[in-house]
Chains A and B, each alone.
Chain A
Amino acid sequence: MNAIIRTEKLGKYFGAMAAVHEVTLALQEGLFTSVIGPNGAGKTTLINLLSGFMLPDRGAIYFREKEITRLETDKRVKMGISRSFQVMNIFPRMTVFQNILLAVLSRLNKTSSAFSSLRSQKEAVGEAEKTLGEVWLQEKKDSPAGELSHGDQRLLELGIAVATNPQLCFLDEPSSGMNPIERIKVLELVKKLAAERNTTFIIVEHDMDIVFSLSDWIVVMNRGEVLAEGTPGDIRENQEVRDIYLGEEI
């Protein structure tokens, strides 16, 4: 199997602090991968680097063996990489439908069309409607996104991220702030989307039960470095991982 995304000695430093240090990874296409680790382990920074939201100080990133280390975010999205955010990042003044529609328009390269009405963009509208259904927001399509409940906003984040039809999608704590039942529902939805849309998901998640039951591959980070990676079974047996999660049931 080929790596969909690969890094070589990736490093990002804030002053004396190494947020990400010497990270060399090769993540496989089609494997549902989770990145775990204690707070401040560098998980979000890693996703920021891979999605182009931040530029690394050292190392290199390859997407399907094409170097993208310093490529702008929007160009990475065009190549098929998208992401969601840990802190809510939607378009609050636009309707739920418009949130998704904009992502679809971007994928179809229609955003520079200045003289056609939104309604006349039949293909985009159809696709946006479909995506809305996939993330269970069909009934709320005309509400302003900023007025949705927290759980629905998280679903909308997911909807926007998949609406660009990515081959690779990073989700930064897609279920944060949700109760355990909602969490399982959302992550099962992500798995379903992965299968239906043929998208490789890489998620950051704190709920270990979910991580170990749903993931195909787990990357454990600690203090900016990759401590271990492997199948859930391997990780469960790893003594170092058990040490950093001391006292936690994994």
Chain B
Amino acid sequence: MKTRLAILILVILLALLPAYAGKYAVYVVIHILLLSIFSLGFNLLFGYTGLLSFGQAGFYAVGAYGCAKILLAYPSLLVGIVGGVAITGVVSLALGYLCIRHTRIYFSMLTLSFGMMIFSLAWKWRDMTGGDDGLVGIPRAALEIPGLFKINMTPMENYYYVVLAFAILAIALFHRIVHSPMGLTLQGIRDSETRTACIGISVRKYRLIAFTIAGLYAGLAGAMLPPLESTVTPPLAHWSHSAEPVLATLLGGIYTFSGPIVGSVIFYLLKDIIVRFTEYWQICLGIIVVALVMGFRGGVVSIFLRKGGRP
């Protein structure tokens, strides 16, 4: 009951954000929401299924470039975002089929190489992706269902509500999934692949499902970026960008539902605050990562919960 009340208050605060906070705060919160979605998907693979992917940025970029191309050709926000996610779904299903044949270090290396293949396409396939300049001038098209309604997205506040709505939807759906029989199945695979097979579960099938869902979440986060920034560039696909959800999840906590979300908030604010004092914010992050791995593997959320519960 307490948790529900807290979530309700949080949602209200977020819904009223443009009323009491400035443009910059809105911009920051959009980015935090995108990173949260990105990290949740990553953690379905890592925390729940036990697969560490270093290629998630590839799917993020597919979503972002997909949405950008659609918006440049056909300026409709909904079509752009849904289209970007759909393309990512197809790509992650196909690559997932190839990646889930391996686990552990080989899986991590395989996802890294596919992610970097997407990066090199983004970087070098000039005709399609604009090369290292990326795609520019992407419109923040109106939210429109022909014949029903059309909402102008020019003010960032309006776009903020679209992102917030998608984020709440994605987070609620995620909560459902991880607390469902399928969520338990994924945790079984993480805990013991052989045991899971020996109770009659096809491990590969569920790994592929988890991989595809993770790809879809990365794609959704990516697809909502171009309307905000009006540009997409190859570094979005680079493996160092794949590290962001890894770090955010690690910060917040791997084995908790809310870990990746809390971690995204901390990660982004940390970056934002430390950068004001010093240009060397990475070293702070590095020290935090090392400290977390050495001592607090449950992440920040578990420090508050005092044990590995799942809020």
Instruction: Show the binding face of A for B, using Cβ within 8 Å.
Output: 51, 53, 72-75, 77-78, 82-83, 85, 89-94, 98, 101-103, 105-107, 110-118, 121, 124, 144, 160, 163-164
**A106 adjacent to B200 (CB under 8 Å):** yes
Assess whether B202 is interfacial by the CB under 8 Å rule: yes
**A118 adjacent to B200 (CB under 8 Å):** no
From B180, B185, B199, B201, A116 is in contact (CB under 8 Å) with: B180
**A77 adjacent to B191 (CB under 8 Å):** no
Known: A91-B192, A92-B191. A113 touches B181 (CB 8 A): yes
From A94, A114, A124, A164, B191 is in contact (CB under 8 Å) with: A94
B180-219 vs A: 1/0 string, CB under 8 Å? 1111110110111011111111110010010000000000
Instruction: Show the binding face of B for A, using Cβ within 8 Å.
Output: 176-177, 179-185, 187-188, 190-192, 194-203, 206, 209, 255, 308
Q: Given the complex of chains A and B, what is the CA–CA distance between A117 and B172 in angstroms? A: 13
**B180 adjacent to A77 (CB under 8 Å):** no
**B197 adjacent to A111 (CB under 8 Å):** no
Q: Which residues of the partner chain B approach A89 to less than 8 Å between Cβ atoms?
A: 192, 194-195, 198
**B184 adjacent to A114 (CB under 8 Å):** no
Q: A111, A114, A163 — which one has the most chain B CB atoms within 10 A of its CB?
A: A111
**A94 adjacent to B198 (CB under 8 Å):** no
| Pairs A-B, 4 closest by C-beta atoms | A77-B200, A91-B191, A114-B182, A103-B199
Task: Tell me the nearest residue of chain B to A157, going by C-beta.
Answer: B195
Task: Tell me the nearest residue of chain B to A80, going by C-beta.
Answer: B200
From B180, B188, B196, A117 is in contact (CB under 8 Å) with: B180
Q: Given the complex of chains A and B, what is the CA–CA distance between A11 and B83 in angstroms? A: 53
**B179 adjacent to A94 (CB under 8 Å):** no
**A164 adjacent to B180 (CB under 8 Å):** no
Nearest chain B CB to A246 CB, angstrom units = 36
Nearest chain B CB to A86 CB, angstrom units = 12
Query: Can you name 29 A-B residue pairings with CB atoms under 8 Å?
Result: A74-B201, A77-B197, A77-B198, A78-B200, A82-B199, A89-B192, A90-B191, A91-B187, A91-B195, A92-B191, A93-B190, A93-B191, A93-B255, A94-B188, A94-B191, A98-B187, A102-B188, A102-B196, A112-B181, A112-B182, A114-B180, A114-B181, A114-B182, A115-B177, A115-B180, A116-B180, A116-B181, A118-B181, A163-B199
